[in-house]
C-alpha cells in the first residue's frame, strides 16, 4: 500500500499517546515510536525486568500490548489523532523465545478503509534467526 | 472434557502466581482467580482506572492479558505448577464496549495433551447482552 | 444470547442454500443442516472419500468450509435470507485427528449486531474425547 | 529467513501433490504452483465459476483452501515430500472483495523448526489496491 501517506510525525504521535494514554502503559512504559512511513510504523519495546516471566523470557502479554500499540500508531499516523479507534480482532503467533533485549515491532497496514483497518505486526530482535512473534490486527475506525 | 480433574486449588494457584510472577502484573494487579473446576478456571479483573483507555473503555491489552492469564490458570490447575508453559498462539475478538466495571473471564480447556493445550476464554460483564470479548489460546507444555 | 430467535427453519435454510450456492459445494456436498435454535445452528458433514487427505484424515479445508458454512447458516437463520453476508475473519484450531466418520458442527452466535456477527463453531465426532476442531468467525452483514 | 533453501522444485511438488491428493481438490482444481524460493512458495488459483458465491465474488472457503495449500507447498518445498504434515491453526482476514479473476497466493515461512512451521500467506489480484486476503498458519511437522 505504497499510496498511503502519513499525516502525523513521530513527535506528534508520541505527544498524542502521552496525553491520551497516561494511565494505560501496561508494562510498556519503555515503548518508543521509532519511525513512521507510508503504511508503516516501527516501535521499540525497551528491555525491562517488569516484562519478564518465569524462564527469563519476555511475557506474552507484553508482546501483545506492543503489537496492539504498534498497529494503533500505524493507523493514527495515517488518519490523524482519533482516540476512539478500537481493536476488533487480534491474532498472535509466538515463534521464538525472546532474548532479554529490546524488541522491535514493525506494523504494516494492508487495508485502510473508511471504517476498518487491517494490518500485521512483525516483532524481531537483533541476531535472532527470524521474527520472535507475528500478529494480525483489525481496527474499527470511527466516522470522521 | 468432563474427564479433567484439577490438581491445584484456587489458593495454591494464587500462591504460585504470586511467587512466580511478582513483576509482571501488566496492569492486571486487580486480577483474582475466583474458581477452578473440571477443565475450567474463572478469573475476575477488578475495575481500575489504570486499565482505561480513551472513550472510558477498558483497554484491549488489559483484556488480552486477562484472557492469557485465565488460560494459564486453567492449564496449571490441571497439570500442576509448571512455570514454563508458554502461549504459542492467541486470537481475540472484541464484541461489546465494556462498561466501567469488573470483567469475568471463564477459560475452558478443549484439549489437554502431553505437549499442547487448547482452550477458549469468554469474557463477560454483569448485565451485558452477551460476552464483551472471546479468545482462543494454544499453550505449549514442557515435558513432564 | 438466549434472546435470539430464529426466523428461518431448517427446510427454508436448506432451500435457500440450494438455490444460491449450487456451484460452490467445495467438497461439502454431503453437508446437511440438522437443526437451528436460539443463537445456534448444527450441521453435519457426512463422511466422504473426497474429503480425505494423506494419513486417512479429513482435510483441514473441508473442516474450514464446514465451519464457515455453519456460521453462515446460524447468521441467516436469525436475519433471514441475505445472500450477501460475508466472512471478514476466521480462525480455526485443529485439536484431534478426525476419524473416518461424520463431523457435527455447532455454531453459536456471541454477537449479532446491525453490521457484524461474531460466533464460534465447535466440531466434534461421536466417541472422541473432545472437539476435533474449533473456529471463531466474524461476519459482515449488509444494511437491511 | 533468507537462510532457507528449497529442496523440491515446482515440478516435484506438483507431481507429489497430484499423487497424494488426487481426491481432495476442494474446488481448487485450477490451483497451480507457480514458483518456490528461499522460504517462499507462490500459487495461482485460476478463476472458475465453481468458486463463486452470491454477489459474484470468490468464496471464502476457496481462498482458505488456497492459503492452506500455499503454506503446505512452502513447507514441503523446504522439508521434502512429507505427506503427514498437518495444519494446527489458521487465521484469515478478508480485506477486499475479489474480482472475477485469478488470485495469487504468496506463502512466506517465518519459522521452520523441527516440529512446527509458522508462515503467512498474502493473496492478491492484479490491479487491486492491496491484498484481497491475508492468512497466518501453523503446521505440525512429523518426526523425520
Q: What is the pLDDT of residues C62-105, one digit of tens each?
A: 899 999 999 999 999 999 987 678 899 999 999 999 998 999 99
Residue B76 pLDDT more than 70?
yes
Task: State the nearest Cα–Cα gap between B127 and chain D, in angstroms.
Answer: 31
> C64 touching D, CB under 8 A?
yes
Q: Which residue has the higher pLDDT, D39 or C85?
A: D39
> A139 touching B, CB under 8 A?
no
Residue of A93, A106, A114 to mutate for D, most D C-beta atoms under 10 A = A93
Any bridge partners for residue B53, and if so which?
B57
| Domains in chain C, CATH or no CATH each | 10-140 (3.10.129.10)
- Are A4 and A38 in contact by the 8 Å Cβ rule? The answer is yes
Q: According to the model, what pLDDT value does residue C51 have?
A: 66
CA C68/CA B56 separation, integer angstroms: 34
Lowest mean pLDDT among B27-36, C26-35, C125-134: C26-35
Cross-chain residue pair C138–A91, CB shorter than 8 Å: no
Overall average pLDDT of the A4-31 stretch = 79
Task: State the nearest Cα–Cα gap between D84 and chain C, in angstroms.
Answer: 6
Q: For residue A138, what pLDDT band results from cuts at 50, 70 and 90?
A: very high
The cell numbers describing B62, all together, are 488489559
Q: According to the model, what pLDDT value does residue A2 have?
A: 58
Lowest mean pLDDT among A13-22, C102-111, D125-134: A13-22
> D91 touching B, CB under 8 A?
yes
3-state secondary structure string across chain A: CCCCCCCCCHHHHHHHHHHHCCCCCCCCCCEEEEEEECCEEEEEECCCHHHEECCCEECHHHHHHHHHHHHHHHHHHHHCCCCCCEEEEEEEEECCCCCCCCEEEEEEEEEECCCEEEEEEEEECCCCCCCCEEEEEEEECCCC
The cell numbers describing A136, all together, are 494480525
Cross-chain residue pair A110–D120, CB shorter than 8 Å: no
The tens digit of pLDDT for each residue in B83-110 reads 678 899 999 999 999 998 999 999 999 9
CA C47/CA C103 separation, integer angstroms: 7
- Are C62 and C28 in contact by the 8 Å Cβ rule? The answer is yes
Helical spans, DSSP H, in chain A = 10-20, 60-79
> A89 touching C, CB under 8 A?
yes
> D119 touching A, CB under 8 A?
no
Side-chain half-sphere exposure of C114, counting CA atoms within 13 A: 2
Residue D37 pLDDT more than 70?
yes
Residue of B84, B87, B120, B135 to mutate for A, most A C-beta atoms under 10 A = B87
Lowest mean pLDDT among A34-38, B63-67, C1-5: C1-5
Cell 502479554: give the residue.
Answer: A61
CA C43/CA D105 separation, integer angstroms: 30
Cross-chain residue pair D93–A118, CB shorter than 8 Å: yes
Task: State the nearest Cα–Cα gap between C7 and chain A, in angstroms.
Answer: 28
Residue D28 pLDDT more than 60?
no
Q: According to the model, what pLDDT value does residue B1 have?
A: 66
Cross-chain residue pair D138–B88, CB shorter than 8 Å: yes
Residue A72 pLDDT more than 50?
yes
Average pLDDT in chain C: 88
Please give the DSSP secondary-structure letter assigned to residue D47.
Answer: -
Q: According to the model, what pLDDT value does residue D72 have?
A: 94
Chain B residue nearest residue A59, CA to CA: B24
Kindly list the strands in the beta sheet with A103-112, ordered across the sheet, starting from the edge strand earlier in the chain: A31-37, A40-45, A103-112, A116-124, A133-140, A86-94, B86-94, B133-140, B116-124, B103-112, B40-45, B31-37
> D110 touching A, CB under 8 A?
yes
Chain D residue nearest residue C62, CA to CA: D26
Picking from C111, C122, C134, the nearest residue to B130 by CB comes out as C111
Q: Which residues neighbour D80 within 8 Å (Cβ) at sequence distance 6 or greater? A: D7, D8
Residue D74 pLDDT more than 60?
yes
Task: State the nearest Cα–Cα gap between A88 and chain B, in angstroms.
Answer: 5
Q: According to the model, what pLDDT value does residue D18 have?
A: 83
Picking from B24, B27, B88, the nearest residue to A53 by CB comes out as B24
> Chains near A, with 3+ CB pairs < 8 A?
B, C, D
Q: For residue A129, what pLDDT band results from cuts at 50, 70 and 90?
A: confident
Q: For residue B22, what pLDDT band results from cuts at 50, 70 and 90?
A: low
Q: For residue B124, what pLDDT band results from cuts at 50, 70 and 90?
A: very high
Task: State the nearest Cα–Cα gap between A114 and chain D, in angstroms.
Answer: 12
> A95 touching D, CB under 8 A?
yes
Q: For residue B43, what pLDDT band results from cuts at 50, 70 and 90?
A: very high
CA C136/CA A126 separation, integer angstroms: 34
Residue A34 pLDDT more than 60?
yes
| pTM score of the predicted model | 0.93
Closest CA to A108 of D69, B62, D42, D122: D122
> D57 touching C, CB under 8 A?
yes
Overall average pLDDT of the D48-72 stretch = 82
Q: pLDDT above 90 covers what percent of chain C? A: 65
Overall average pLDDT of the A77-83 stretch = 88
Cross-chain residue pair C55–D94, CB shorter than 8 Å: no
Residue of B86, B88, B139, B143 to mutate for D, most D C-beta atoms under 10 A = B88
Cross-chain residue pair B138–D91, CB shorter than 8 Å: no
The interface predicted TM-score of the complex, written ipTM, equals 0.92
Helix/strand/coil for A21: coil
> Chains near C, with 3+ CB pairs < 8 A?
A, B, D
Q: For residue A54, what pLDDT band results from cuts at 50, 70 and 90?
A: low
Please give the DSSP secondary-structure letter assigned to residue B8.
Answer: S
> B68 touching A, CB under 8 A?
yes
Amino acid at each position: 500500500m505504497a499510496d498511503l501517506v502519513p499525516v502525523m510525525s513521530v513527535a506528534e504521535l508520541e505527544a498524542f499517546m502521552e496525553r491520551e494514554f497516561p494511565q494505560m502503559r501496561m508494562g510498556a512504559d519503555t515503548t518508543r515510536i521509532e519511525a513512521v512511513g507510508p503504511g508503516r510504523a516501527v516501535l521499540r519495546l525497551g528491555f525491562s525486568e517488569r516484562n519478564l516471566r518465569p524462564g527469563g523470557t519476555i511475557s506474552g502479554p507484553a508482546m501483545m500490548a506492543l503489537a496492539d500499540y504498534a498497529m494503533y500508531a500505524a493507523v493514527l499516523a495515517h488518519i490523524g489523532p482519533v482516540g476512539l479507534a478500537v481493536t476488533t480482532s487480534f491474532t498472535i503467533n509466538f515463534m521464538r523465545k525472546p532474548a532479554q533485549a529490546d524488541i522491535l515491532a514493525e506494523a504494516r497496514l494492508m487495508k485502510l478503509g473508511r471504517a476498518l483497518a487491517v494490518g500485521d505486526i512483525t516483532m524481531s530482535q537483533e541476531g535472532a534467526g527470524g521474527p520472535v512473534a507475528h500478529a494480525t490486527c483489525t481496527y474499527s475506525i470511527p466516522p470522521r
